[in-house]
Amino acid sequence: MATNGFDAYAKIWQFDDFWTRANTFDACLRFIMAAQAKWPNDPKIRAMTKVAWHISQANLKYFQRNLQQDMWADDYGWCGIASLSARDYLLKLGDTQDADDYLNFARTCWQKMYSIGYDSTTNAKPVPHGCANSSSSAGPGTKNTVTNANLLLLSVRLYNVMKSIDKTHATAYLEMAYWQYLWFNAWFTPPLTQYDYFRLPTSGGFTFGLVQERPIAPPDYENKDRPTWEPGWVWTGDQGLLLGALVGILQITSDLNSWAKSSSPPINFDPVAFQKNVNGWIKAITMGVKQLLFGGMFNPTDKVLREAPFNSSFSDDPKDYVCGRGVLLRYLSEVKPLLGGINVNFNQNIVATAQAVWNSRDTTSNQFGANWNPENDSSFNANFITVWGNGDKGVNWPYGTSEAPPVSAILQAVGLDVLGAAIPIVP
């Protein structure tokens, strides 16, 4: 199952689409590293490792060649995070030179993202700063979840790498991670909870939450296009990115505390309140993913992960949003061991989803589909809308198993994300 899925990806990965190529590359690398950890001596896994090394060489050249093109800010976030995954992978192979090149490229992506999108002024209301998904040609963009979660996650990961290499530059990443935390914290705590950016419905005696695709509030957070926004819209990929970022920043609490105390003037940082906030958000999102996106509270449920049913994901630009379930499982599998006292078990859900992905494939090409268990989609959509209060019943992905790249590569990479999450669980 594992090697057949990768072999299909290896035939279609080389397409021209900057952020999508970065994201599918990240999925490929995470899958390979999971397979290596589980079956280190398997000859088929070793062969996959060699192929992935060649892909990493070609992708670095591709990313460097296309860096100066007119990209959206979040494109650089996706590519920077993928570059750090490539660094991890290459260091495992002993390829330190290429690992260093990918680290330098990740830092360049962070700088590009900051230069194009970050709002360093205090003018925006009701929440200053944040990162807009801008581009050089399109101008100021929307301060949406994907862009701000990307910047937070990339900043945390660059800090963790650079703190043992260059403390001065590492501090810049730590500082940005803190400002991004403050941006989310402003929206997630009263009085701005009135705007429902982090929605926390209560049902069945427990509270769970999902973060919407963007905050909407007057006067400076009212952009409802690029792409088309609709009330209540949530995307699986946002939940995964933010989970990864929040768990990451929680692990550097002591570093943030030391930095805040040594700043001039000192920054008022309360590590106890910080940990309480972040742990609360992680728990709510984790429960929201389990109860809503895996359908844990629905009856009946097949335990398979689905995209929240919104036309904005399925119809406006489905090529960009069909990857979300893979992104969510990529980070969920990564942070699962770090969730501490959160009593949520995803093993059955991940295995059920992996089986549904495998069943969706074309049995000749092993190309994965987009609709994994379609006979239950209508029931899921109706249940989601009833609990969440928004959504569109009749949505489904407009893709089959005979799409051309980049769509075929996106679908295959989503499958690799799911299989990669299942590898540590299955015997």
73 within 8 A of 133, measured Cβ to Cβ: yes
How many Å separate Cα 29 from the centre of its chain? Answer: 15
Question: Within a 13 Å sphere around the CA of 226, how many CA atoms are in the beta-carbon half?
Answer: 17
State the angle between helix axes of 145-162 and 96-117 in degrees (0 to 180), rounded to the nearest 10: 140
Q: Which residue has the tokens 């919407």?
A: 212
- Spatial distance between the Cα atoms of 286 and 340, rounded to a whole number of angstroms: 12
- pLDDT tens for 108-127 read 999 999 999 999 999 999 99
Question: How confident is the model at residue 357, as a pLDDT?
Answer: 98
Question: How confident is the model at residue 18, as a pLDDT?
Answer: 97
Question: How confident is the model at residue 338, as a pLDDT?
Answer: 78
Type of residue at 48: M
The pTM of this model reads 0.97
- pLDDT tens for 10-35 read 999 999 999 999 999 999 999 999 99
Question: How confident is the model at residue 68, as a pLDDT?
Answer: 87
What are the structural domains of the chain?
A: 7-16+115-422 (1.50.10)
Residue 106 confidence class, pLDDT cut points 50, 70, 90: very high
- pLDDT tens for 45-67 read 999 999 999 999 999 999 999 99
For every residue of 23-90, DSSP letters joined together read HHHHHHHHHHHHHHHH-TT-HHHHHHHHHHHHHHHHHHHHHHHHTTS---HHHHHHHHHHHHHHHHHH
Average pLDDT over residues 306-316: 96
Residue 204 confidence class, pLDDT cut points 50, 70, 90: low
Structure tokens at 347: 């093993």
